[in-house]
């Protein structure tokens, strides 16, 4: 209830963030920002927060938090095929945060704004007594009525996924040095031995992904003319496939063997499809667009996999290599990924 002790930090914040602000933000010296929507465009608006001990660890580097904050919000725009335009940043670190920490966060914020051509229009800063958090309201632009919806899937559509599945789950365990207890010892060893490493950081690619996921923006924008429905994988493959089914009032068959698992250990499949934080795209498209979609993937240097079909029904059904329906191992009501409304 008293912010006197953190005055210097807040002066510092103004010093670091104000230079990043765009026209319309009035150097972060007004009560609100002004934004002119270009004619014949609609705004696609998303908001995701990252909170300590939920979305990042107390030890996570400030630059990684800033990068991930942009990535998770850009991933939503990628899934809706919207060009990034502008944002508001909420910066709520612990009240004892150091100037160096703020500087590192601000530097990465500036890098992200530049990389994605996003105008910083304002935000809010708070010195937190406990439990820091960081949030972004990000909007992008689309031509009227061209937003790619979750609700657009059509019967007979192919179901695709970009990249690999489960690296968010693997990366979190890796970052925490904590592979789930119910995974057998030999599997743990296997993950650690087989995980490719980043040459520079010596971290596994999973941890690199967990800390700095890469939003599939180029792929999402390229796909727009060819696809019916899309979402990004923030809640886990199964949960996010189900979101498309629910929104489209249809079902899906998914070939288990076609899923591009990040780790091939069979014992992990349950965790990898429900773990969340993959930030890959799921999308559906009519079979006649297969060549165009392959071309989009090539053009944007993105891996994609065709993993199933949209059918009548209302849920996701997994099939084995023989086309027989199989139940998810260890299936329980809990294994539905992370549920939140994630606009």
Scan residues 296-315 and list those touching its own copies (CB under 8 A).
none
Q: What residues does 165 pair with on adjacent strands?
A: 261
Q: What does the chain come to in residues?
A: 343
Q: Where do we find the tokens 């890469």?
A: 214
Scan residues 244-263 and list those touching its own copies (CB under 8 A).
246-247
- The three-class DSSP label of residue 191 is helix
- Considering only 186-194, 240-248, 293-301, 307-315, which stretch makes contact with its own copies by CB under 8 A? 240-248
| Number of residues located near its own copies, criterion CB under 8 A | 80
**Alpha carbons 126 and 21: distance in angstroms, whole number:** 18
How far apart are CB 329 and its own copies at their closest, in Å? 17
Give kind and range of the element (H or E) at residue 169: helix 167-176
Residue 161 engages its own copies in binding (rule: CB under 8 A): no
Q: Which is nearer to its own copies, 56 or 261 (CB)?
A: 56
Q: Which is nearer to its own copies, 18 or 256 (CB)?
A: 18
Query: Which string of x and - marks every residue 43-82 that binds its own copies (by CB under 8 A)?
Result: xxxxxxx-x-xx---------------------xx-xx-x
- Considering only 60-68, 288-296, 313-321, 332-340, which stretch makes contact with its own copies by CB under 8 A? 332-340
Residue 151 engages its own copies in binding (rule: CB under 8 A): yes
Taking CA atoms, 94 is separated from 16, 131, 175, 215, 287, in Å, by: 17, 7, 21, 27, 51
Contacting residue, 144, 196, 202, 327, with its own copies by CB under 8 A:
144
CB contact at 8 A, 50 and 72: yes
Query: What residues have CB less than 8 Å from 4, skipping those under 6 apart?
Result: none
| CA angle (12 as vertex; 10, 18 as ends), nearest 5 | 95
Scan residues 262-301 and list those touching its own copies (CB under 8 A).
none
Scan residues 75-134 and list those touching its own copies (CB under 8 A).
76-77, 79-80, 82, 88, 90, 92, 121-131, 133
CB contact at 8 A, 162 and 281: yes
Residue 22 engages its own copies in binding (rule: CB under 8 A): no
- Nearest Cα neighbor of 64 from 159, 170, 171, 166 is 171
Contacting residue, 107, 311, 317, 338, with its own copies by CB under 8 A:
338
145: tokens are 């009525």
- Considering only 142-150, 186-194, 251-259, 312-320, which stretch makes contact with its own copies by CB under 8 A? 142-150
**Alpha carbons 315 and 331: distance in angstroms, whole number:** 14
CB contact at 8 A, 178 and 266: no
Q: Where do we find the tokens 């009519």?
A: 286
Q: Which is nearer to its own copies, 45 or 256 (CB)?
A: 45
Q: Which is nearer to its own copies, 41 or 290 (CB)?
A: 41
Residue 149 engages its own copies in binding (rule: CB under 8 A): yes
Scan residues 172-211 and list those touching its own copies (CB under 8 A).
172, 176
């Amino acid at each position: 209830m008293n912010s006197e002790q953190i005055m210097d930090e807040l002066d510092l914040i103004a010093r670091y963030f104000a230079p990043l602000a765009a026209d319309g933000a009035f150097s972060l010296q007004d009560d609100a920002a002004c934004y002119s929507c270009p004619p014949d465009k609609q705004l696609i608006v998303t908001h995701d927060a990252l909170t300590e001990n939920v979305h990042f660890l107390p030890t996570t580097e400030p630059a990684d938090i800033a990068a991930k904050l942009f990535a998770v919000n850009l991933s939503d725009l990628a899934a809706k095929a919207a060009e990034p335009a502008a944002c508001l940043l909420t910066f709520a670190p612990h009240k004892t945060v150091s100037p160096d920490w703020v500087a590192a966060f601000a530097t990465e914020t500036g890098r992200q704004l530049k990389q994605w051509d996003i105008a910083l229009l304002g935000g809010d800063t708070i010195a937190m007594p406990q439990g820091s958090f960081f949030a972004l309201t990000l909007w992008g632009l689309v031509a009227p009525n061209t937003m790619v919806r979750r609700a657009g899937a059509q019967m007979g559509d192919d179901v695709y996924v970009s990249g690999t599945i489960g690296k968010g789950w693997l990366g979190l365990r890796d970052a925490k040095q904590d592979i789930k207890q119910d995974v057998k010892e030999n599997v743990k060893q296997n993950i650690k031995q087989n995980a490719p490493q980043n040459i520079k950081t010596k971290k596994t690619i999973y941890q690199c992904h967990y800390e700095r996921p890469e939003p599939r923006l180029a792929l999402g924008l390229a796909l727009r003319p060819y696809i019916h429905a899309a979402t990004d994988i923030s809640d886990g493959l199964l949960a996010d496939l189900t979101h498309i089914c629910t929104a489209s009032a249809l079902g899906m068959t998914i070939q288990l063997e076609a899923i591009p698992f990040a780790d091939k250990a069979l014992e992990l499949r349950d965790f990898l499809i429900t773990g969340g934080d993959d930030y890959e795209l799921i999308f559906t498209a009519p079979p006649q667009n297969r060549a165009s979609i392959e071309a989009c993937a090539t053009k944007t240097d993105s891996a994609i996999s065709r993993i199933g079909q949209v059918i009548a029904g209302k849920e996701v059904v997994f099939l084995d290599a023989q086309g027989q329906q199989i139940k998810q191992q260890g299936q329980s009501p809990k294994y539905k990924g992370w549920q939140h409304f994630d606009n």
